[in-house]
Amino acid sequence: MGVQKNKTLDSCDATGDHDQLDAPVKSIEDKWKLVPAFLKIKGLVKQHLDSFDYFVNTEIKKIMLANQEILIESDPSFYMRYLNIEVLSPCIEEGYNIIRPITPHECRLRDMSYSAPISVDIEYIRGKERVIRKGLVIGRLPIMLRSCKCVLYQKNEAEMAKMRECPLDPGGYFITRGTERVILIQEQISKNRMLIEKDSKDRFQCTVTSTTQQTKTKTGVYESKGRYFLAHNSLTDDIPIAIIFKAYGIQSDQEIAELVGFEDYILNCFSASIEECHRLGIFTQIQALKYISTKMKSSSKQFASNQSSRRNRIDEARELLAHIILAHVPVIEYNYKLKAVYTASMVRRVIQAQLCLVNIDDRDYYGNKRLELAGQLIALLFEDLFKRFNTELQKIANKIIPRQRAQQFDVTKHIRPDIITNGLVIAISTGNWTIKRFKMERHGVTHVLSRLSYVAGIGMMTMITSQFEKTRKVSGPRSLQPSQWGMLCPSDTPEGEGCGLVKNLALMTHITTDIEEKPLIRLAQNLGIEDITMMNGEEIYADNMYIVMLNGNIIGATNKPRKLIDSIRFLRRKGYLNEFISVYTLKKQRVINISSDSGRLCRPYIIVIKGQPKVTNQHIQELALGQKTFIDFLQQGLVEYLDVNEEGDSNIAVYEKDINKETTHLEIEPFTLLGACAGLIPYPHHNQSPRNTYQCAMGKQAILTVIFYTNVFFFRGAIGYNQSQRCDTLLYLLVYPQRHMVKTRTIELINLEKLPAGQNAIVAVMSYSGYDIEDALILNKSSLDRGFGRCIVYKKQVVAMKRYPNQTCDKIKGPLINIETKKPKWEHEVLDMDGIVGVGEIVDNKQVLVNKYTPSSTTMTLAEQQTSAGTTTNVFAEHEDKETPLIYRNPVPACIEKVMLTSNHEDMFIVKLLTRQTRRPEIGDKFSSRHGQKGVCGLIVQQEDMPFNDYGMCPDIIMNPHGYPSRMTIGKLIELLGGKAGVLEGKFQ
């Protein structure tokens, strides 16, 4: 044994200190490598892709199954049933049924929508025979770039280059009619969750927004004059809560009281509500249902009668309680016990809030919020359009089948794919989401993807918008919440009315998608939770008993809460459960909440057990060598995701030195609490916070430039490897972009080094000549002559050749020749003989770019209609054409960079021109460093008049030192020193 031990020691010495490799992580330098590993699989734009993939693979099938059959009243034997639904690959139909794949780049150039057919298999009755048809197209779905249905999915750089796409482009957006549009993340209050708050009359109330596939309603329980009432918008008047319990079938007053709670303080508060029920003379379930039916609105009666063929008042009230009030709580065969427990729990929480035993819920707490992504929003819209599509088919079948005698009715001949196609394309193109079944109207859901710079595109993909009215001067929703730590960027929010309402995700945030509930319910039952419907009030509210809720629904109760929580967390860390399942306790309410719903914000943390992080130096070394991935860290229980609510149950250390015996988790890297834009700022913790906020806004506008004494000033740089192939409406490109001399880790993580924006400048911080007051800058003319700050502006001009109802069309004619000089007149000098300007031509103001002519009459007269019906000759040849040329209107001449001739999906001929202007900095141009220190050019000075140092070096920019004291941007001073050190050492800092 002794010899063996010595061998082991020798082998350890040969491979380095083994103890050191197994030691817990002690330094920031090594564990930050988990961040790029995480960003390979999640984060930034991945949540958009996951959400859309979940929709096309899973949710679209659920929608089809929920609306599977079409039946008609006029013929009971007819039916149409959907068997399968599938989204195919993006393609285009050209000519006679020639279908070929299409790429996003082609859609951009040809002003087309990047979409794929939605194919269904159906079974239906034709005459008396049963027919199965496969591969029927019911519409087209716009496809998100880089999603699992996109042609770019999992392609390498060489394959991307063949398709003329940039490999660094993150995807996550749509192309509709040639325009890139992104669905912004929408912030909503959490569904199916109890919230305690005060209403407008300062009364305590417990509200729940119930959402199911069919309906969305809000139910409230509140206290008034010592009694408790249930409020719902389908009722004409609020109903005493004891009557609701009677209608649920709990007729004994003692049972009702026990269900709310057996404690003296509960009984004292609730007794007046039972007396109110007696005063109204309601003692049985039938009496209670009759009372509720008198308070129902007519629309609710109609809904309830639609649910069932029975029309009497009592049945209408039953349906209301089962399907409208607290709609998310299941009622099986009119057994309301679970709904009764849920309602009792709401009353109990109101009483506890009145007596200050529990706190009022904060609506702005981020655990009470859910974020809606592209997949969920498109699912809402698609289901609405799918129902409309089915209704149209049903109407046609009802209309045709009764009067059709000779010919059999074939439903496939009456399919209208335009309902779904146009509905989706118009919604994404305009940003207006209209969901008829929820009476929901939202505006501004989609925006045009900003391509001012690469950073602007990334920033837009992580932007969160709220439906809160921006003009309201309310501070609560705008304030920075402690619950947003690490989830949302504290700096990246706009100035003005959107401040605090428009937010951005932090670097390592992930947004969850839906996880199946049934396996979780089975697991909880196996872990010993009891059926709450079999328990009385005394058992439910016993001191050691906790109610267990899954996504807002009560699934049982347990007297071993710690065992249940520890078991779920153990299974999650071992990889037996989905890593995004969350479990946490509300100790005052004695509730265990398990969450598996979509839209929760979560981020990864290193697990700490008994004061020791589970990640060691050896793990990090294996990660650096490629032997481990981030998924391995999750599956081995070294790292786990926590959502906002579970963070409240945890003790998280920011640095290793903060770890103590109570610590449960360790931050992977503190800089990840910032977003992609704020992460570009060097030394942000040395700046006053508004400066970081200003920088986030300006970094997105940046063509980026400036650092030296070196300071980076912003100009728009590169937007992608394929920028020369694109044909954007407006594109700013820096002629000489440079990498940042002083860089942050975020710059490497979001690949800004490969698509740089900005230039490193030699900056003199000094007062000079008086032209630099109020943040003005003085520029060196020789630097500008050498190309400093020079940019190229590309602008797109488009001409579409339309066809008109009278069979005429637009034309392009050659240039008009001057009779005297035998040369084209001045306006047409730059035109080629085909009437389109040539590539490389310099065009001046008011010169013609495309010599287009439009017919003077584009409508067909009655005489022409009659003539065309009786003859095959061309009766439209006599129409005169009028000049409608495309004219260049800009006092500064431009060069024609590119001319493109193509056609769109309607076979309309299109001419696209790209004009180019080279611009150099002038007096009045705005410059900014990476610290929100913005200023305009006040003077351009010859180099010989500039100050110089003992080496004879002149600065590119002179900046006034009075910009520092009031702005407190100490980070910029440190960056100046870092830039100078980088220049002297010859390496990036």
545-572 residue pLDDT tens = 999 999 999 999 999 999 999 999 999 9
User: Into which CATH architecture does domain 518-594+606-673 fall?
Assistant: Alpha-Beta Complex (3.90)
CB-count exposure of residue 590 (10 Å: 0-12, 13-18, 19+): middle
Angle between helices 689-701 and 454-461 (to 10 degrees): 110
Gyration radius of the chain's alpha carbons: 34
Cα 886 from chain centroid? 39
Tell me the C-alpha distance between 829 and 844, whole Å.
10
Question: In the beta sheet, which residues pair with residue 129?
Answer: 126
Q: Where are the domains of the chain?
A: 38-190+365-512, 195-327, 518-594+606-673, 679-790+922-985, 793-863+875-917
State which amino acid sits at residue 867: T
pLDDT of residue 28: 46
**Backbone φ and ψ of 457, nearest 5°:** -65, -45
CATH number for region 793-863+875-917: 2.40.50.150
3-class state of residue 317 by DSSP: helix
Cα 208 from chain centroid? 25
Q: Which of 756, 666, 668, 746 is nearest to 712 (CA)?
A: 756
Question: How many residues are given for the chain?
Answer: 989
Tell me the C-alpha distance between 557 and 618, whole Å.
43
- Helix ranges, 897-987 (H): 970-985
Tell me the C-alpha distance between 374 and 702, whole Å.
27
57: DSSP letter = I
Taking residue 359's Cβ as centre, other Cβ atoms within 10 Å add up to: 10
**Mean pLDDT in order along the chain per 10 residues (989 residues):** 37 42 55 89 88 94 91 83 94 83 92 94 86 92 94 91 90 93 93 90 90 86 90 90 91 88 88 89 90 80 48 84 90 88 93 87 91 93 93 88 69 89 94 87 90 88 88 85 92 90 93 92 92 86 91 92 94 93 92 94 93 88 90 92 93 91 92 91 92 87 47 63 85 88 89 86 90 91 94 91 85 85 86 91 93 84 59 55 90 93 86 93 91 90 93 92 89 91 87
Q: Which of 763, 674, 753 is nearest to 717 (CA)?
A: 753
pLDDT of residue 404: 59
Report domain 38-190+365-512's class: alpha beta
Element (H, E) at 345: helix 337-354
Q: Are 919 and 937 in contact (CB under 8 A)?
A: no
Strand 503-504: give its sheet, edge to edge: 369-372, 185-189, 463-466, 503-504
In which residue are the tokens 């508004």 written?
690
Q: Are 920 and 937 in contact (CB under 8 A)?
A: no
Taking residue 203's Cβ as centre, other Cβ atoms within 10 Å add up to: 15
- The Cα angle at residue 681 between residues 679 and 685, in degrees rounded to 5: 90
User: Fold match between 195-327 and 679-790+922-985?
Assistant: no
How far, in Å, are 583, 691, 750, 982 from residue 494 at the CA level? 34, 12, 21, 33
3-class state of residue 910 by DSSP: strand
CATH number for region 195-327: 3.90.1110.10
pLDDT of residue 864: 58
Looking at the domain 679-790+922-985, which fold is it? 2.40.270
Which pair of tokens denotes residue 834?
Answer: 């085909």
Element (H, E) at 605: strand 601-609
Q: Are 614 and 608 in contact (CB under 8 A)?
A: yes
State which amino acid sits at residue 405: R
Tell me the C-alpha distance between 461 and 450, whole Å.
10
**Backbone φ and ψ of 391, nearest 5°:** -65, -40
271-313 residue pLDDT tens = 998 998 889 888 888 999 999 988 888 755 555 545 444 457 8
Element (H, E) at 187: strand 185-189
pLDDT of residue 144: 95
